[in-house]
Amino acid sequence: MMKCLLGEILKINVWKIQFLNTELRVKNVRERRKIVDCLLKLNDNIYIHLEINSRKDETIALRNLIYFYHFVSTKTMRNEEYDKNNQFIHIDFSYGLANSKEVEEEYKERNKTAKIEYVDCIKLIEFNMDKIVKFWYDENEKEIDKNKYLIMLNLEKEELEKLSKKFEGDELIMEYKEKCEKLNEDEYFTSFLSYEDDQRFLKNTYISEGERIGEKRGEKRGIALGEKRGLAIGKEQLKTAKNEMARSMLKDGFTVEQVSKYTKLPKSSILSL
């Protein structure tokens, strides 16, 4: 199925596919682990880096690009020479773009007039998944036919059933539908949280725990020292709890911007932690 999907996207004949380790190699003990969504090798010389982005965020785009070039560098430097025979393609399936970008954007390392390529072995592609799924709900027949394989990746069970009936006989859509149904019946698979759910649960836990600790400490000290003094201490304890929460969030990979948003702490205070 992945062969057909990537073949349609890249307009090539994919006759061989290999799934690679999604954890990129680090060069020293101080370097953080780098884990990407999906790494593939097509045929004998085409490397694909796939990422699904749940929201519009320049930080995510920069991180994806850094990981992609890290991957390119490890696959290019071989046997003390630069291997020029490989192609590297980064593909983003991005949500949250709305109308800010076209359905498909392609980027390459080119000069200002876009006539001369700096290197011809690297390509960056981004799909605006908001626009793609909108074709389905707008019943845009021309675009549905053109983007049916990307549309199917976005649909819930009932809508996927409608798509499969519309393109009855399309082997790729039927295979995808059958596999989705099997996965949704698999208790082992469905018991796991999605990444987005996990991040939301973590955020809510940090907030609740910080408020609980601050209120509890403030309440205890307030009884001993009086209501006014207790309120002041409660605020101080809440601040301390927020700092502890911020440290935990930073350790778990949240950005400074995200920590500031959820804890209401200024960025300068977070950076000082």
DSSP helix/strand/coil, 105: strand
Higher confidence at residue 68 or residue 180? 68
In this prediction, residue 132 carries a pLDDT of: 93
Q: How many CB atoms lie within 10 A of CB 259?
A: 26
- For the chain, how many residues are written? 273
In this prediction, residue 70 carries a pLDDT of: 87
In this prediction, residue 150 carries a pLDDT of: 92
Task: Place 213 in a pLDDT band, splitting at 50, 70 and 90.
Answer: low
pLDDT score of 202 more than 90: no
Task: Place 8 in a pLDDT band, splitting at 50, 70 and 90.
Answer: confident
In this prediction, residue 40 carries a pLDDT of: 92
In this prediction, residue 115 carries a pLDDT of: 80
- The first and second tokens of residue 187, run together, are 């208790």
What residue type is 77 in one-letter code?
A: M
Q: Tell me the C-alpha distance between 242 and 273, whole Å.
A: 11
DSSP 49-60: EEEEESS--HHH
pLDDT score of 29 more than 50: no
Backbone angles phi, psi at 36, to 5 degrees: -110, 170
Which pTM does this prediction carry? 0.63
Query: For the ranges 26-35, 42-51, 153-162, 215-224, which has the lowest average pLDDT?
Result: 26-35
- Mean pLDDT computed over 39-62: 88
Higher confidence at residue 48 or residue 80? 48
Taking only the tens place, the pLDDT of each residue in 166-177 is 998 888 899 888
> Domain locations in the chain?
2-154, 159-190, 195-272
Mean pLDDT of all residues in the chain? 80
Contacts of 188 by beta carbon, 8 Å cutoff, 6+ apart: none
- The first and second tokens of residue 225, run together, are 């020292």
In this prediction, residue 242 carries a pLDDT of: 78
Q: Tell me the C-alpha distance between 202 and 219, whole Å.
A: 25
Question: Hey, what long-range contacts does 18-26 have (CB within 8 A, 24 or more apart)?
Answer: 18/42, 20/47, 24/67, 24/70, 24/71, 24/74, 25/74
- DSSP class of 117: B
Taking alpha carbons only, the member of 135, 81, 139 closest to residue 104 is 135
pLDDT score of 189 more than 60: no
Q: Tell me the C-alpha distance between 45 and 86, whole Å.
A: 5
Query: For the ranges 110-119, 169-178, 202-211, 257-266, which has the lowest average pLDDT?
Result: 202-211
- The first and second tokens of residue 3, run together, are 């062969």
